[in-house]
Structure 1
Amino acid sequence: MYISQLIGQHLSLGQQLIVILTSIFASVGAANIPNAGLVTMTLVFTSVGLPTQYIALLVTIDWFLDRCRTAINVMGDMTVSALLDGKKPRSVDEA
C-alpha cells in the first residue's frame, strides 16, 4: 500500500483485498524462512500490477520486520508445545 501511494498508483478496493489475501497466503509458508518477506512481496506486487523494482525501497525496514516475524513464530511454536505437553496424560508415578 505504501509503494502504491508513493508512486501515485491508486488501488481499487478489490485490489486492496487482493493485497490482503495474497499477503496472508504468502506469509503462511514463509514464517520460518529468513528474508522470505522480500520474495513474497514479489507475489503481492505482481498480483495488483505494481512494479517490482520498488521492493528495493522496503529492504531497509524488512530486516527489522523479519526479526519480529521470527520472534512471533518461535513464540507461537513454544506456546503450542507447552499446551500439547500439558495435554499429555500423566501416570500416578509422575505426580
Structure 2
Amino acid sequence: MPNAAVQRGLLKLMLKLPALRGQLQLLSVKNLSLSNLCEAYEEASSMLDRQRKLDPLDHSMISEYELICREIEEEVISICIIDSGRESSPL
C-alpha cells in the first residue's frame, strides 16, 4: 500500500498526464522508481504551490520548482514509454 505522499503525487501526475492515467495506476504498484517519483512530485508540486502563494513572490524559487516538476514529469513519461516498449516486444 503506497503512502499518502505517493498516492497524492500519483493523483497529481494522473491529472497532469491524462493520456497515461491507466498506465500510471498499474505501474505505480509494481515500479519502485515510479513510486519514488510520485512522492518526489508531491513534494515538489506542493512546494511550488506554496511558493506561488507567498507575498512577495520569489520568482527564482518558482522557476526552480517548475523545472523540478517538469523534469519529474519527463522521467515519468520515459518510464511509461519504456514499459510500453517491453509489453509490445515479442519474447
TM-score over 0.5 for the pair:
no
Structure with the larger RCO, 1 or 2 (CA within 8 Å, 6+ apart): 2
Tell me the TM-score normalized by structure 1: 0.41
Higher relative helix content = 2
Tell me the TM-score normalized by structure 2: 0.43
